[in-house]
Amino acid sequence: MPEFLPIENYVPHRSAMLLLDRLLDADNESAVAEVTVPCDGLFLQDAGMPAWVGLEYMAQTVAAWAGWQAVQKSEPVKLGFLLGTRKYNATQAFFAPGTCLRVSVHCELVADNGLGMFDCHIHHQEQELAVARISVYEPEDGSAYIHALEKEGAESPNE
């Protein structure tokens, strides 16, 4: 199995928003990441980690896949955006703290305009806990895109 750099080298997320622990595998079409559900911190509730956080685990694994590809080409890691999902199906309402999850993503499409579609799965051992197809967008310059949106919002009249 190939060796991978620490996850921070592949995703733009930092601090509490970096939810993944490590990239386990990646190739031209797919990636697998690992996360141990934390016992404290962001999003955690008394019953555990809400299963809807799995959608962010999937999105960050897509980001790690894109970042891994950028690193292979000696290019900078870009900002990307989760646009949504048409169907996210989880077999339970919460992930138990301390549970080690494997998140796999498979690229179905990445268009020239930066739009992409991924088939995603979350497993604990051999049990599938969640599945989704997610849509993402990676603009050419994510920072400029955010600044343009902020500027547009600042210029909108107050109601």
- Domains of the chain, each with CATH number or no CATH: 7-155 (3.10.129.10)
The 10s digit of each residue's pLDDT in 112-155 is 999 999 999 999 999 999 999 999 999 887 666 666 667 776 67
The 10s digit of each residue's pLDDT in 72-99 is 999 999 999 999 998 999 999 999 999 9
Secondary structure, 3-state, 56-106: HHHHHHHHHHHHHHHHHCCCCCCCCEEEEEEEEEECCCEECCCCEEEEEEE
